[in-house]
Amino acid sequence: MLEEKVRKTIREYNLIEKNDSIVVGVSGGPDSMTLLSILLKLKEEFNLKIYVAHVNHMLRENAIKDEEYVKEFCEKNNIEMFIKKANISEIAQKEKIGLEEAGRNIRYNFFEEVLKNTKSNKIAIAHNLNDKAETIIMNTLRGSGVSGLKGIEAKRKKYIRPLIEIERYEIEKYCIENEINPRHDESNDDNTYTRNKIRNIIIPYIRNEFNPNIIKTLNRLSEIIKEEDEYVQSETEKIFKEILLTDEKNKIEFDPRKFNEQEKVIQKNLILLAIKKVKGSTQGIEKVNIDDIIKLCNNNIGNKLIRPVKQLEIGIKNKRIYIKNII
């Protein structure tokens, strides 16, 4: 039974605790409506406060009907709902990014805003096992590193994904059995988008021609990679402390000799960890950048520097490797 499987996921990853206040991202589709339905059933047991956040991307004529559908459901179930209208096409054009990225940025920023305004402590997203498999394939095609092959995690800081171990067909079955009539986003049928092409063409082809259990197989792969990556990250954290010379808000310095003694996989992760600490993220950093930085450090050439992305400088000076965020 789907509800029991979700309960198992919640227990295994400690996703929900007593007295949690949860903002639920709800589009009106099968996934988010199933998530909201199950959380409502758990509301009394966990003494939950539940808020709904809905974003109207203004990309389709039916978007207003999605909004009205979610609003009607919330009114019927006495749930406070927050709505944001955003012209994603204009935002994507202005910021020179894709529609998917623009939509994602708007949604997550809005979820954070609702979280703050309602004084909630968690944000629930309706990603499922199929979404995780699709993400693994997408990241593989992009040449992602190990972290990308972990796919979507059940819990990441304040974000929880109670449906992450549920397949899409189970969600569709749950909707039928519980008389939920979710909205259909016709843009999901448009195979010009990479994710849709993977969902509608590549995965069905692999399922029919090679492996009928491809979704679960990719999930097992991600769990193996996750365990191994957690070990590498743990070792990296320990070595980071050993080679650290300076740890300031916008600048980190390493001992070059100790850095060069490490295996390349550890060196790569040390650099990424340092960049994340001084810059807040590793966005824009590619493998070629990491390789160039490692080559610079291994050669130990003084007064040389690299600027892999805007406002980030990495180099060697006074016999120290430094990673600096240029403000």
| Span 58-110, pLDDT tens digits | 888 888 999 999 999 999 999 999 999 988 889 988 888 888 888 899 999 99
The two three-digit tokens of residue 99, written as one number: 């529609």
For residues 20-31, average pLDDT: 98
Of the residues 183, 205, 220, which one is the last residue of a structural domain?
220
Are residues 98 and 184 in contact, defined by beta-carbon separation less than 8 angstroms? no
Model confidence at 302: pLDDT above 60: no
For residue 149, give the CATH number of its domain.
3.40.50.620
Q: Which residues span the domain enclosing 56?
A: 2-220
For residue 300, give the CATH number of its domain.
3.30.465.60
263 shares a domain with 143: no
Which tens digit of pLDDT belongs to each residue from 103-116?
899 999 999 999 99
Separation CA 14–CA 169 (nearest Å): 25
Separation CA 110–CA 126 (nearest Å): 16
298 shares a domain with 212: no
Residue 243 lies in a domain: no
| pLDDT computed for residue 60 by the predictor | 83
317 shares a domain with 213: no
62 shares a domain with 132: yes
Least confident of 140-144, 163-167, 313-317: 140-144
206 shares a domain with 85: yes
| pLDDT computed for residue 123 by the predictor | 98
Contacts of residue 38, defined as CB under 8 A and 6 or more positions apart, other chains included, come to 2, 3, 6, 162
Question: Per residue, what are the HEC states of the chain?
Answer: CHHHHHHHHHHHHCCCCCCCEEEEECCCCHHHHHHHHHHHHHHHHHCCEEEEEEEECCCCCCHHHHHHHHHHHHHHCCCEEEEEECCHHHHHHHHCCCHHHHHHHHHHHHHHHHHHHHCCCEEECCCCHHHHHHHHHHHHHCCCCHHHHHCCCCEECCEECCCCCCCHHHHHHHHHHCCCCCCCCHHHHCCCCHHHHHHHHHHHHHHHHCCCCHHHHHHHHHHHHHHHHHHHHHHHHHHHHHHEEEECCCEEEECHHHHHCCCHHHHHHHHHHHHHHHHCCCCCCCHHHHHHHHHHHHHCCCCEEECCCCCEEEEEECCEEEEEECC
215 shares a domain with 284: no
Are residues 154 and 164 in contact, defined by beta-carbon separation less than 8 angstroms? yes
Residue 132 lies in a domain: yes
The total number of structural domains in the chain stands at: 2
137 shares a domain with 68: yes
Which tens digit of pLDDT belongs to each residue from 174-192?
999 999 999 998 888 889 8
pTM for this prediction = 0.85
Residue 273 lies in a domain: yes
